[in-house]
Amino acid sequence: MINGERTIQRPLRWGMIGGGRTGQVGYKHRTGALRDGTYQLVAGAFDLDAERGRDFGTNLGVSGERCYATYQALIAGETAREDGVDVVSIATPNFTHYEITKACLEAGIHVICEKPLFFTVAECDEIAALAASKNLIVGVTYGYTGHPLVRQMAAMVAKGMLGEIRIVDMQYTHGFNAGDDTDASEAQVWRTNPATAGATFVLGDIGTHLYYLSEVVLPELKVEKLLCDRKAFIPSRAPLEDHATVLMHYDNGARARIWVSSVNAGNMGSQRYRFVGAKASLEWSDSHPDQLIYEVQGEPCRILHRGMAYLEEDSLALDRMGALHTEGLGDSWSNIYLWIAEAIDAKMRGDEAFLSTHRYPDLKAGTEGVRWLENCVRSAEAGAAWVDFA
């Protein structure tokens, strides 16, 4: 179980390129990286708008001199320092990934890059050679594959608990682009332009998550051939797609179907993975993220729960909350810590007006819990009698 204890020799000095105030994914990087103290955010070229990026970075606690106007300035500034960044995360639109990664590696900085990694396999191969020659790491943020139940699926497949894999059925869809792109956000505009998104829209945007996940769960299987049927239901997005179905044949004869779509109208986001073997199946869906359905042919269906001791060691090693709590509880704790920090800050500044409307679990909330307990005990000790709440 992960409990925040340090597992590396020292915290990494970390910088961000992109992921600024208006960026969609930047906060996911920061909450992921900063949670255990493994990374310390010390520098950034957060935004195309240099002034906004500087203002944002200093609000995050990065010193002004280390909030850079461009990624080139970040590389120059950080490599000139004794305490320069060890690693940067790249959370910029797709078309910039390759050039920024290359520049960072050439400067001796490890890289964590967003998906889809680059535009071509040739670029990936070139970067792999560069990283190897510099002895540097490149990581990719396929966020869902850190889930303990994904590791559980992989471990069960590896143990042969499903038998020979026959069918893979995966879905990642949402409906947020069901309408046209009039008034599209900055992030939607670059996603539907081949020059900035690359050769795909939803396949790269969400389909790559599924494909990597299938590789994590089924590392022994190799795709032999595939068929991709894609379409832009909103014509202005062509030649890129807002919907696609991919069929795949694996080297063991297994078949796969992958559905990705951003025009699944009314759908807030659905991920579903089903792996079917000759003996049994596993199914996970983000509508019940703590549960893994394990169905053995001819036996009652079982629901495996995240964090329970009967899971594989690989899965338990990734758990952060224990089975009693949902993983989302970590986000809730962060909010509570933030609210209390804001209250302390207001108290320090003497801002009683702020405090009069600010809501957080305060002393009164604690007191009411104690009062409720006193009433419960009074009732219980009276032989489970009704008592007036006092």
Q: Is residue 57 part of the contact set for ligand NAD (CB under 6 A)?
A: no
Q: Which of 14, 15, 18, 138 is in the footprint of ligand NAD by CB under 6 A?
A: 18
Contacting range for ligand NAD; rule: CB under 6 A; set: 1-9, 93-101, 238-246, 251-259? 93-101
Rounded distance, CA 201 to CA 204, Å?
6
CA 3 to chain centre: 19
Contacting range for ligand NAD; rule: CB under 6 A; set: 80-88, 91-99, 159-167, 171-179? 91-99
How many chain residues bind ligand NAD (CB under 6 A)?
Answer: 24
Residue 148, beta-bridge partner list: none
* Residue located via tokens 């022994």: 220
Query: Tokens standing for 388?
Result: 């007036």
Residue 140, beta-bridge partner list: 113
Specify the residue, 186 or 224, whose C-beta has the smaller distance to ligand NAD. 186
Rounded distance, CA 311 to CA 290, Å?
12
Q: Is residue 115 part of the contact set for ligand NAD (CB under 6 A)?
A: yes
Contacting range for ligand NAD; rule: CB under 6 A; set: 40-48, 269-277, 312-320, 340-348? 40-48
Q: Is residue 101 part of the contact set for ligand NAD (CB under 6 A)?
A: no
Instruction: Annotate each residue in 120-149 with x if it binds ligand NAD (CB under 6 A) or - if it does not, as one string.
Output: ---------------------x-x------
Spell out the alpha helix ranges (H) of the chain.
26-34, 50-59, 71-79, 97-106, 121-134, 148-158, 186-191, 194-197, 202, 208-217, 313-316, 329-349, 352-357, 363-381
Is the link from the previous residue into 239 a cis peptide, with omega within 30 of 0?
A: yes
Minimum CB–partner distance for residue 262 and ligand NAD (Å)? 12
Q: Which of 14, 39, 71, 273 is in the footprint of ligand NAD by CB under 6 A?
A: 71
Triad 89, 90, 94: Cα angle to 5°: 155
Q: Which of 33, 41, 43, 45 is in the footprint of ligand NAD by CB under 6 A?
A: 45
* Residue located via tokens 């239901």: 233
Specify the residue, 148 or 198, whose C-beta has the smaller distance to ligand NAD. 198
Specify the residue, 47 or 295, whose C-beta has the smaller distance to ligand NAD. 47
Is the separation of the CB atoms in 88 and 125 below 8 Å?
no
Q: Is residue 47 part of the contact set for ligand NAD (CB under 6 A)?
A: yes
Residue 145, beta-bridge partner list: none
DSSP state of 327: T
Q: Is residue 92 part of the contact set for ligand NAD (CB under 6 A)?
A: yes
Q: Is residue 187 part of the contact set for ligand NAD (CB under 6 A)?
A: yes
Q: Count other C-beta atoms under 10 Å from residue 370's C-beta.
A: 9
Contacting range for ligand NAD; rule: CB under 6 A; set: 16-24, 150-158, 276-284, 378-386? 16-24
Q: How many residues does the chain have?
A: 390
Q: Is residue 284 part of the contact set for ligand NAD (CB under 6 A)?
A: no
Q: Is residue 91 part of the contact set for ligand NAD (CB under 6 A)?
A: yes
Residue 7, beta-bridge partner list: none
Query: Tokens standing for 345?
Result: 């800050």
Q: Is residue 24 part of the contact set for ligand NAD (CB under 6 A)?
A: yes
Backbone angles phi, psi at 80, to 5 degrees: -85, -10
Q: Which of 89, 96, 171, 214 is in the footprint of ligand NAD by CB under 6 A?
A: 96
- Site residues for ligand NAD per CB under 6 A: 17-20, 22-25, 45, 47-48, 71, 91-94, 96, 114-115, 141, 143, 186-187, 205
